[in-house]
Amino acid sequence: MIKNENKRAIFLKRFFLVALSLAAAVLSACRGAPPPPRAEGGQINLENWDFSARGSIALDGNWDFFWNRLIPPEEFTAKAPPAPDALVSVPGLWNGLMVGGKALEGKGCATYRLRVKVSGRAGALGLKMLDAATSYRLWVNGIEIASNGAVSCSPGEARPRYLPMSVPLPENVLAREGGAGDLDFVVQVSNYRHRKGGLWESLRIGLYRDILEMRERGLALTFFLTGVIIIMGLYHLGLFILRRKEKATFYFTLLALFMGIRAMVINDRIFLHWFPGFPWGILVSLEYITAYCNIVLIALFLGALYRVELGRPLMKVVIGLGMAFGIVFALFDIGVYSMFKPAYDLYVLLGGGYAIYCLIMATLHRRGGAWLALGGMLALYLTGINDVLYNAQVINTTNLAPLGLFIYILSQSYLLAQRFARAMKSVENLSGELSDLNRNLEVKVLERTEELQAAFEEMEAMNDRLVETQNIILTELEIARRIQRQLIPQAVPEHFRVCAHYLPMEHVGGDFFDYIYFRERDCLGIFLSDVSGHGVPAALITSMMKSFLLQAGPRKESPAQLLGYLNESIMAYTGGNFITAFYCIYNKKTKKLVYSNAGHNPPILVEDGAVVHLDRVKSVPLGIMDAAELERRGKAFGEYEMHVGGGGRLFLYTDGLSDVQKYDDSSCYFGEEAMLDFITGNAHLHPSAFISDLMREIRVFQGRDFFQDDICVICLDL
């Protein structure tokens, strides 16, 4: 880590030394050279300018400006030439220029004029002009030298076009008397498609060979930078295809391709050297869409590398604004979306500033390669500021974005290469470890086999113990099942048509019923209860219920007293469980039925085709509240007495019956409605046949023999 930091410090020192040296050289060159002449009042004097020694010169300065008039060159040689409306700065825009007390807008037509004095010994001169907003015609001494598009003061006849020009001045233009002469530049410009209008680029004059050399150097540099950017993009596209998890390489690919396209479109318009007739509208669309997409792609790229520092909320804002600009571009033509360019420039400056801040934080956090990403972003940001100011006619430099893009792409490419290098190093380390592992594989396999054999033998012994334990448990459960079966009445009461069926979910269950006999042979008590839960704990509570019933004595003659006694007796033994219970006494001779309910499902009485639920005195389950609490809450166990006629039937059950579910559809229950239909439809059957058919019915409904809860049903004919 220390070694890497030393390398980084050395690199930064060398980088800043080279930058300071270049800056010093540029400043010294600027101080040593006198400022070039500028046009003033529509004239510029170049008689003392040595084109051979000092090269070409831009015809920048104040030109004569004639608004809303396309004046032919011959009118300026008449005895009474037209007077200019104003002086306008070139390169610059006529937007905002005051003419006749009114500020001009971008759309319209105008004529520019500049008189240039040159030496008769200047030699073969030429002109270099990139383009104008958005069509022009150029004359020198009445001879048309260059044109772009169709110039007209009629919006329907004007046609925009961008095509860089490097043209020689004809010999008859340069004919001089006395060794010197004037060059009269007349430029007609019209614009009805762009928000900006005017001569927004410099016109350069110089020896034609120098003009051609300048053009070739510019094209070569732009071709080189663009080619490098696109090749890097295609290279990283291949990396992404091979490893799709690396989203950063995909965003970098898109960024490089978009930047390469933009460089071809705006820098020396090299795209038009290949396709001179390319539609102007599509060309401008490419210029804007590549600008709108770049900041979004940069945000996505940096977010994939340094997501913590960029932060998801602000990153979403940056991406959202970029997409909003893209939507404006997609829905409107250039006359509308070019008006959003100032807002977009502000968005780029703020977004770029935020990205630089985040990269500074990532560098301070010692994130891998953050310092390199910061350097590339600074180069891109500073050249972007230059281009924004240059395109806004604030400064007169040139588009430096391709250079900034080149530095940025190069730095980010190196950053991604570092990431892949680290990944490859990790692979090499893992390969070395794997090789060492393979060398010792036989020993390790033998050791592991011995360990597994010992573990297997231990597992077999444990399994034998588990089987033995399971057999013991099953044996004990079988004994418990037999004991519980002994607690449940095995004989049917004499003199009564009654039948009961008890089916525990497991070996033992929590449902319980009992017949209570009295001295009077015509009386029969039926007790039914359901303990919450299942298995052994519930079965233990049912055994205690049987014990308490045996000790109840005279309390059995009153359903309410018996339930109260059971509640007080069982309170200390429930362990968090509770018991629902129902107790009734039926007198066959007097046809009287007395009952009490402790939170149990109300039994069903079928009499003369009518169905009645015995739910008059339902209270809370046993084992929840003591007698005092039940009195205080008004929940004390009460009893109800009713007269029943002959020929009726009483059906008692636990909730395991009504809660039976379909095996393949857990949302479908047997339910009370199906139970009532079965009870009323089979009331003519003997109680034993009735219960047998009922159990068969619910097995068919469920689709299997295993039930999810204990089931207990009792059927008594009245």
**Residue type for 140, please?**
V
Residue 500: phi and psi, rounded to 5, are: -135, 150
Whether omega for the bond prior to residue 91 falls within 30 degrees of 0, making it cis, is: yes
Q: How confident is the model at residue 388 (pLDDT cuts 50, 70, 90)?
A: low
pLDDT of residue 146: 93
Cα angle for residues 330, 336, 340 (degrees, 5° grid): 85
Enumerate domains of the chain plus CATH numbers. Answer: 43-201 (2.60.120.260), 215-425 (1.20.1070.10), 488-717 (3.60.40.10)
As a whole number of angstroms, the distance between CA 678 and CA 230 comes to 82
As a whole number of angstroms, the distance between CA 27 and CA 317 comes to 40
Pull the structure tokens for residue 240.
């992404």
Query: Could you report the per-residue pLDDT of 468-481, keeping only the tens digit for each?
Result: 777 776 666 676 67
pLDDT of residue 193: 87
Pull the structure tokens for residue 7.
């390398």
Q: How confident is the model at residue 412 (pLDDT cuts 50, 70, 90)?
A: low
User: For residue 415, what are the contacts with CB-CB under 8 A and spacing of at least 6?
Assistant: 305, 369, 372, 373, 376
Q: Considering all CA atoms of the chain, what is the largest pairwise distance in Å, rounded to the nearest integer?
A: 157
Query: Could you report the per-residue pLDDT of 497-524, keeping only the tens digit for each?
Result: 999 998 887 767 788 999 999 989 899 9
As a whole number of angstroms, the distance between CA 119 and CA 43 comes to 15
Min mean pLDDT across 10-19, 172-181, 395-404, 466-475 is at 10-19
- The rounded percent of the chain whose pLDDT value lies above 70 is 83
Q: What is the mean pLDDT of residues 444-459?
A: 82
Residue 130, pLDDT above cutoff 70: yes
Query: Could you report the per-residue pLDDT of 560-618, keeping only the tens digit for each?
Result: 999 999 999 998 888 778 999 999 999 999 999 999 999 999 999 998 878 899 988 88
Mean per-residue pLDDT of the chain: 81
Q: For the range 693-702, what are the long-range contacts, defined as Cβ-Cβ under 8 Å and sequence gap of 24 or more?
A: 695/501, 695/503, 698/657, 698/660, 698/670, 701/660, 701/662, 701/670, 701/674, 702/660, 702/661, 702/662, 702/663, 702/670
Query: Could you report the per-residue pLDDT of 283-323, keeping only the tens digit for each?
Result: 887 777 777 777 777 777 777 777 666 666 767 777 777 77
Closest to 231 measured CA to CA, from 399, 406, 375? 406
Which range, 268-272, 349-353, 555-559, is most confident? 555-559
Pull the structure tokens for residue 51.
């084109």
pLDDT of residue 246: 74
Residue 544, pLDDT above cutoff 70: yes
pLDDT of residue 510: 81
Sheet holding 203-207, edge to edge: 57-58, 203-207, 125-129, 165-168
- The helix-helix angle for 370-391 and 280-305 (nearest 10°) equals 150
Residue 282: phi and psi, rounded to 5, are: -70, -40
Beta strands 165-168 and 498-503 are: unpaired
Q: How far apart, in Å, are the Cα atoms of 244 and each of 122, 136, 239? A: 61, 49, 8
Strand partners, 191: 108
Residue 15, pLDDT above cutoff 50: no
As a whole number of angstroms, the distance between CA 222 and CA 81 comes to 43
Query: Could you report the per-residue pLDDT of 260-286, keeping only the tens digit for each?
Result: 787 778 777 877 877 878 888 788 877
Cβ(262)–Cβ(294) below 8 Å: yes
As a whole number of angstroms, the distance between CA 396 and CA 58 comes to 11
Kind plus residue range of the DSSP H or E element containing 386: helix 370-391
Q: What is the mean pLDDT of residues 620-640?
A: 90
Cβ(605)–Cβ(650) below 8 Å: yes
pLDDT of residue 602: 93
